[in-house]
Chain A
Amino acid sequence: MILLWIALLPLFGVLVPLLCSQRSRLFTTWATAAAPAIALGLTLSQAGTVLQHQTLRYTLSWLPSLQLDYALRLDGLALLFVCLVLGIGLLVILYASYYLSEQDSMPRFYACFMLFMAAMLGVVMANNLILLWISWEITSISSFLLISYWWQKSEARKGARMALTVTAAGGLALLAGLLLIGHMVGSYSLDVVLQHGDLIRNHPLYTLTLCLILLGAFTKSAQFPFHFWLPHAMSAPTPVSAYLHSATMVKAGIFLLVRLYPVLAGTDQWYSIVSLAGMCTLLLGAYFALFQHDLKGLLAYSTLSHLGLIVLLLSIGSPASTVAALFHIINHAIFKASLFMAAGIIDHETGSRDMRRLNGLWKYMPYTATLAMVAALSMAGVPLLNGFLSKEMFFAETLNQSILGSLSWLVPVLATLAGVFSVAYSLRFIHDVFFNGEPIGLSKTPHEPPRYMKLPVEILVGLCLLVGIFPEFMVQPILDAASAAVLQDQVPSYSLAIWHGFNFPLLMSLVAMAGGVLVYTQRRHLFRFQHQFEAVDAKREFERLIQLSVRRANVFSRWLENDSLQRYLLLMLLALLVLLGSSLRELHPLSGGRSLLPLDPVTLCAGLVLILSAIATVVVNRQRMLSLLFLSVTGLMVSLLFARFAAPDLALTQLVVEVVSIILLMLALFFLPYKTPRNAAAPRNLLRDSAIALVLGALVGSLCFALLSRPFDSISSFFMAKSKTDGGGNNVVNVILVDFRGFDTLGEITVLGIAALGIFRLLEHLRLFKPSADGEGRLWARQRDSVILNVIAQGILPLALLVSVYIFLRGHNNPGGGFIAGLITSVGIILQYIAHGVSWLKPRMRLNYALMIASGVTIACLTGLGSLWWDRPFLTSWFDHFHLPLIGDVELASAMAFDLGVYLTVVGATLMMLANLGKLTTAHRPQYEEMQ
């Protein structure tokens, strides 16, 4: 349970800064820090158990059918990362409160920051691979939001987009890899997966899985060749760089490698891919860091190099190298976060990050300078500081490996070379910024930052020293626990002592120091050498690539989607033809052997009218009004056939829907051309189209015949049997609608309501051209009202209401129900609109359609919720019979209230659509008549 709180507290913390938007900055800072502080306290309270090499677990069932559980684990490795995430996170929160200026929105920053923190905790604590992946994606998105925090700057937007594209693409690869692991093992639980290392390594899909997961990890941790996004992410505010791009997010990829180390590591593929990427990143980062003029750029490339170092250590694959990798994760997080914060202070107090202009700051800010120099020396690997210890271990490990086969001797040489550059760029950071003459052209006079802005740096630098001097005391327990979690209790004996005697690693360190000093003093030659190459701007290349792919995608989708409805229809029908035709071919014989009904002349005649009017609709399709007339004949005949073949509910519904759609089409027709323009390609396609239509019609006809002539046992017998006993109604259709499938109906009326509101919004400010004459050039009639129509229409309204009440009330037992009743009522009211017009009706009939829709959906919902009161599932219906004097036996069912909801929604939605479509012209009407 405590694990759940550790994971969820920062997630709730997302809301805290948003709620504090009216409070002072200091209050916001402390309120935001509260959640992670409590979470850190809770973590430390569990640390005792975890340091005994135990694993704490917490599982909450989420989507069991997808094997997705909200499963958390806290072992040594997770503890290490949780402490890093929460501890450094807290320091960065404090730091950011001073770093952000008055204009920057503090709540927005902190909210994204906390979201990232929560996601990062999800990554490191997940005990389920899918949960891990979901959190992983959230870190990508929140990191995007944080990098683009200063969205006004083009660099920030481009950098953020690049980071998101690269990491999210990697995230997709990772998902594929994790799914493959789940496929091999049969479970997504980390507990199970970690037990099946041999199974995975010997599986034929292992190489593919490894590549996919490495893609995810390398993009996230900015390993070569995906390293280019990290330097561009430096356009983020410095607290973000300190937190995401040095201490936590870029470590997520490494965390993943460490987490899956027991199942993935130890094969040839692992050695070759991981070591190559690590080595390239190590050298590339160290070399290019020296040439950066931007302070944060230098730190970014140095981060690359250190990440490469950790990855290289992991690739070596011996237990001791894994311990060294974990140790360096801690050390790098500590010194790099403090360096970023120091760089932020310098930027904040001088207004520049350019090392060509920043010089001699020692005089202005000696205290900050001391802190930054200690941290930079730790980065260089100077003794008595934490960076020295892990670098020493790294050098030692490069001496006992064979990852490059017979060329393995190259590894220590290259490692020393990287060390040389690491010392050189650290020296540059110290010398160029704090000494080396006077500052050039700064916008403000540098001075020490506020007291508490230095506090986080002080704490981190203090840790650098403490870990460097008392390593056994400071990190031994957690390093032991983390290594035990990774190596599954085969922790090698290792020594964290500062002094190992004169040995080869020490020699390498000394060479690196001396070489670094030499390179730095002779840097002019190197700079000149580097200058002759044209710098490749990764951002521009990346943008070009993105633009290119967008253009290609556009061309492709224009080709596929050319806005021709005929073409879409053609493709869909052809697909249907293939699917239907191929399966109908296997059906032999077509007739299923049920005896056919005798043919009576009435049905034959109605069928003939149906067929003829359908053909006529097609023939006259260019004359819109005429084809509408034929269409309504077709609709009428279809509803008669429904009635004939014992589907009275369908017949009634079809009849009403027919009328409503005619009115709707007439409303629309007014604004449309009188005739459909002739399609230039039509004659050419006529033969093709009619052939397809005929073949498809024949197919559908045969399908219907095959289906109807077979004995067919469907689900309907269940409904027939249960309708009266369980739903209390004889009309199965209605009982299905309001009871058995009541939840569907609830969803449908909600959609209907939303559609009506959407139409209302769309039409609200629409002004259309109103033709002044009909298609044959005749002016419209001048007289608006017809007395006969007005009188008849008014007389019909009560009749229509009566019919709809009748249809509504008996709906549960006989054909009818809320839907049909609602449509009849709407038609009655629409008739008033047609006869009298909107302006006459408005003061006389005050119906608020939006309110009707809302109350309809609410009533239906409340009916459903009512059943919860009696401890029944949502939408359980209830019915009983009462005997009333004079009226007789009356059945009351809760389904009736639900049906009332349906009725109200249907009336409200239909009228809202039709009346608003009709109102489109009212605004212009008076003007038009004045002109006449």
Chain B
Amino acid sequence: MLSTVLLIVLGMVMVALLLNLWRLFRGPSTPDRILALDTLYLNAIALIVLFGLWKDAALYFEAALLIALLGFVSTVALCKYLLRGDIIE
């Protein structure tokens, strides 16, 4: 049961990833793109956790933890750049 659900969810996350990429490419505005990147990070976390569940390996969660922690920082840096140009004032 779980494996079926996992497979379905994995498939949906993969579609989401590709759509994120499309939004990143199309824009049209830069905030759209930053949002697309941030969502892409989120979906990557989802992907890696689901993959870990699927393969039954805890090692993948570490990477997910780091992406959760750090993906945020690059989004912040990008937004700050948009707002103020200078990210460290």
Q: Which residues on A are within 8 Å of B, measured CB to CB?
A: 601-602, 605-606, 608-609, 612-613, 616, 625-626, 629-630, 632-633, 636-637, 639-640, 643-644, 648, 651-652, 655-656, 658-659, 662-663, 666-667, 669-670, 770-771, 774, 780-781, 784, 789, 793, 796, 799-800, 803, 815, 824, 827, 830-831, 833-835, 837-839, 914-915, 917-919, 921-922, 925
Contacts and interface: CB of A to CB of B under 8 A. Distances in A.
B74 A632 contact: yes
A64 to B, nearest CB: 49
A616 B86 CA distance: 26
Given A608-B18, A796-B69, A917-B88, 6 more contacts: A626-B30, A636-B41, A640-B44, A663-B74, A839-B89, A918-B88
A838 B89 contact: yes
14 contacts: A612-B21, A629-B37, A630-B24, A633-B40, A636-B71, A651-B63, A662-B77, A666-B80, A669-B81, A803-B65, A803-B69, A827-B73, A837-B89, A839-B89
B71 to A, nearest CB: 8
B21 A609 contact: yes
Given A670-B85, A834-B87, A917-B88, A629 B34 contact: yes
A666 B25 contact: no
Given A640-B44, A800-B69, A925 B89 contact: yes
Interface in B1-34: 10-11, 14, 17-18, 21, 24-25, 30, 33-34
Given A640-B47, A915-B88, A830 B67 contact: no
Contact of B84 (A602, A640, A644, A780): A780
Interface of B: 10-11, 14, 17-18, 21, 24-25, 30, 33-34, 37, 40-41, 44, 47-48, 51, 54, 59-60, 62-63, 65-67, 69-74, 76-78, 80-89
A82 B84 CA distance: 75
A655 B68 CA distance: 11
Contacts of B44: 636-637, 640
A770 B86 contact: yes
A656 B87 contact: no
Contact of A789 (B25, B48, B67, B76): B76
Given A633-B37, A922-B89, A601 B76 contact: no
A655 B72 CA distance: 12
Nearest to B67: A655
Contacts of B21: 609, 612-613, 616, 633
**Which DSSP category, helix, strand, loop or mixed, fits chain B's interface?**
helix
Contacts of A774: 82, 85
Given A633-B40, A639-B63, A643-B63, A602 B14 contact: yes
A833 B69 contact: no
4 closest A-B pairs by beta carbon, nearest first, are: A918-B88, A837-B89, A605-B14, A781-B83
A831 B85 contact: no
Contacts of A831: 73, 76
A924 to B, nearest CB: 10
Contacts of A643: 48, 59-60, 63
B88 A605 contact: no
A837 B86 CA distance: 10
Residue in A601, A633, A774 whose Cβ sees the most chain B Cβ within 10 Å? A633
Contacts of A608: 18
Contact of A601 (B11, B59, B67, B85): B11
Contacts of A919: 88
A605 B18 contact: yes
Contact of A663 (B33, B51, B86, B87): B87
Contacts of A827: 69-70, 73
B33 A629 contact: yes
Nearest to A635: B74
A609 B17 contact: yes
Nearest to B41: A636
B81 to A, nearest CB: 5
A625 B37 CA distance: 12
Contact of B77 (A616, A626, A666, A824): A666
B62 A666 contact: no
B62 A648 contact: yes
B82 to A, nearest CB: 7
Contact of A605 (B17, B40, B63, B66): B17
B37 A830 contact: no
A629 B36 CA distance: 10
Contacts of B70: 655-656, 658-659, 824, 827
A93 to B, nearest CB: 61
Contacts of B66: 652, 655-656, 803, 824
Contacts of A830: 73, 88
Given A803-B69, A824-B66, A834 B24 contact: no
Residue in B47, B51, B67, B86 whose Cβ sees the most chain A Cβ within 10 Å? B86
B67 to A, nearest CB: 6
Given A781-B83, A781-B84, A831-B73, A652 B63 contact: yes
A780 B83 CA distance: 6
Contacts of A633: 21, 24, 37, 40
Contacts of B33: 626, 629
A921 B63 contact: no
B39 to A, nearest CB: 11
B59 A648 contact: yes
A601 B14 contact: yes
B47 A602 contact: yes
Contacts of A799: 69
A181 B41 CA distance: 67
A666 B87 contact: yes
Nearest to B51: A602
Residue in B21, B86, B88 whose Cβ sees the most chain A Cβ within 10 Å? B88
Given A601-B14, A655-B67, A656-B66, A616 B25 contact: yes
Contact of B80 (A629, A800, A834, A915): A834
